[in-house]
Chain A
Amino acid sequence: MFDFLKAPVQRFQDFVVLGGRAAVNVFRGPHYTDDTFLQMDIIGVGSLPVCVMTGFFTGAVMAQQMSRALATYGATGQIGQIVSLTLVRELGPVLTALMIAGRNGSGIASELGSMKVTEQIDAMRALGTDPIQKLVVPRLLATAVVLPLLTIIADFMGILGGFVIALTLGITPDQYWSTAWRSLEFNDVGQGLLKPFAFAIVISLVGCYYGMSTTGGTQGVGRATTQAVVVSSIWIIVITFFIGRIFVNL
């Protein structure tokens, strides 16, 4: 009767097993430090222009659109507060994570998927290396370190983008930066940094899971890549809601 549930439950179980093994392997050797730094470079430095652009224009667009609504109440001067709160709490982490899911989640899935279908992962196991230790753990650690950093940069660039628009609205730099800065509380910064950390775990593990379970040749690699981006994007939206709920109640 519930046969249709077997496949998704099996996939979820496999994903949890992969996550568990990766978590255990983080704390035991051998550690592939070079691979971790290489992944940090690919994911972090490589994604910098994307995050800078996304952050800057998100902040600018938000300031532009909100200024009309605020003008109705004569509160255009509060634009800095709205931009910084929305970016730090929600848009900065979510948009950065969606960019990284699209850029690096897909990259992880396609790279590992190609390795799977060309038997390189089997070769790795045959030649004395645990693919979870060698492939999954470095990507997990690298994403967990760089995604919060990229989010901070995107947040700052977004506030800067809002500042450029605020100047065109006749708001003084002092007024903009003081409202932007003072509006932020520990709660906002806390969830703004916790979210990218959670997203990083999802993006890297989902990418690795779909890559390492690829079947069906090059067509399968394409399918795995698409699934990795779609699934991690959905989880990012779901997780941001639940973390948001927790912090609302704090």
Chain B
Amino acid sequence: MSNGPEQSDTVVVQFDQVTVRFDGDTALDRVSFAMRAGETRVLLGAAGSGKTVLLKTAMGLQAADSGRVLLFGRDITRMAERELFELRSRVGILFQEGGLFDSLTVEENVAYPLRNQKTRQAQSESETEESVREALRFVELEHTLQQFPSELSGGMRRRVGIARAVVTEPGLVLYDSPTAGLDPITANTIMALIVKERDTRNAAALMATHRYQDGQLMANFRYNPHSGELQRVSVNGDGREGSTTRFMVMREGKLVFEGTQPELEASGDPYLSKFVLKR
């Protein structure tokens, strides 16, 4: 029971002058952008710049104080929590620390959206079990079904989080700092899974990160289903053509850059330059 990828001209998320404040501090300051189906966006920014708030606002977990947020074309700015559930079922999210329920097993965690989302309650238990196994096989953790999150390493928890985010095959997947606090090898494994997920289903992906190399990987690599490995995009030989990845940079709640990787790397702005690793 897939949500399936959206039509490529459909705007999946749109922010229109969105402002979010916490106790007088502005977390998002008049942020505007529109993201289309199948598109990949990398959201760069220092800690506390508003990346997580932006992701949570995109799926209605955080209410906007002003402006307008559209998810799959519907205005969710003032939408009631119960109405939001249907729209949220079309979005997958990987939280920064995984956000796994520590009282549930890995199997129960991954099955959670299948068993609780109203749009999927027609699904039988055997179908749910098969979907869970498939999602865990995708992140190569099928053997951890009966384990609890506390028994897993940080990287494994993140992989279970990915499995839970994609088990419903959503049209949009949000990743909140998927490699934060991980060693380089585990971080690469996580990024490879994210690229593989994106390219297998062609779902839209919005990834917040402070690591430019994660964005580079998203922009310049594709999953090759035949070899089962990532390979550099080489259309027209320069490794960049054909990439649908756009970069956004946040600074103190403001969206200070939106554009392609070459545009980001060509920028002379001192703040932007801090994030960019010149190739």
Interface residue ranges, A against B (CB under 8 Å): 118-120, 122-130
Contacts and interface: CB of A to CB of B under 8 A. Distances in A.
Contacts of B102: 118, 120
Contacts of A119: 95-97, 99
* 8 closest Cβ pairs, A-B complex: A128-B117, A123-B99, A119-B99, A119-B95, A127-B113, A128-B116, A128-B85, A129-B116
B113 A122 contact: no
Contact of A122 (B56, B85, B117, B118): B56
A122 B94 CA distance: 11
B81 A122 contact: no
Interface in B23-63: 56, 59, 61
B279 interface: no
A123 B161 CA distance: 10
B97 A127 contact: no
B112 A127 contact: yes
B61 A122 contact: yes
Most buried by B among A118, A119, A123, A124: A123
Contacts of A129: 112, 116
A130 B96 CA distance: 21
Contacts of B117: 127-128
Contact of A125 (B61, B96, B101, B118): B61
A120 B101 contact: yes
Contacts of B248: none
22 contacts: A119-B96, A119-B97, A119-B99, A120-B102, A122-B56, A122-B61, A123-B93, A123-B95, A123-B99, A123-B101, A125-B81, A126-B59, A126-B61, A126-B88, A126-B91, A126-B93, A127-B88, A127-B164, A128-B88, A128-B89, A128-B117, A128-B118
Contacts of B116: 127-129
Contacts of B97: 118-119
Contact of A120 (B61, B99, B118): B99
B274 interface: no
B143 interface: no
B278 interface: no
Contacts of B69: none
B221 to A, nearest CB: 27
B82 interface: yes
Contacts of A124: 101
A167 to B, nearest CB: 47
Nearest to A114: B102
Given A122-B95, A127-B112, 19 more contacts: A118-B97, A119-B96, A119-B97, A119-B99, A120-B101, A122-B61, A122-B99, A123-B100, A123-B101, A124-B101, A125-B81, A125-B88, A126-B59, A126-B91, A127-B88, A127-B117, A128-B89, A128-B117, A130-B82
Most buried by A among B82, B85, B117, B118: B85
B106 to A, nearest CB: 14
Contacts of A123: 93, 95, 99-101
A120 B100 contact: yes
Nearest to A10: B23
Contacts of B91: 126
Most buried by B among A122, A125, A128, A130: A128
A180 B95 CA distance: 59
Contacts of B112: 127, 129
Nearest to B85: A128
Interface in B73-99: 81-82, 85, 88-89, 91, 93, 95-97, 99
A118 B101 CA distance: 9
Nearest to B96: A119
A82 to B, nearest CB: 46
A119 B56 CA distance: 11
Nearest to B93: A126
Contacts of B99: 118-120, 122-123
Nearest to A118: B97
Contacts of B93: 123, 126
Contacts of A122: 56, 61, 95, 99
A128 B114 CA distance: 9
B193 to A, nearest CB: 19
A201 B93 CA distance: 34
Contacts of A130: 81-82, 85
A127 B87 CA distance: 10
A124 B89 CA distance: 12
A118 B150 CA distance: 13
A88 B11 CA distance: 65
Contacts of A120: 99-102
B157 to A, nearest CB: 11
A156 B99 CA distance: 45
A75 B104 CA distance: 60
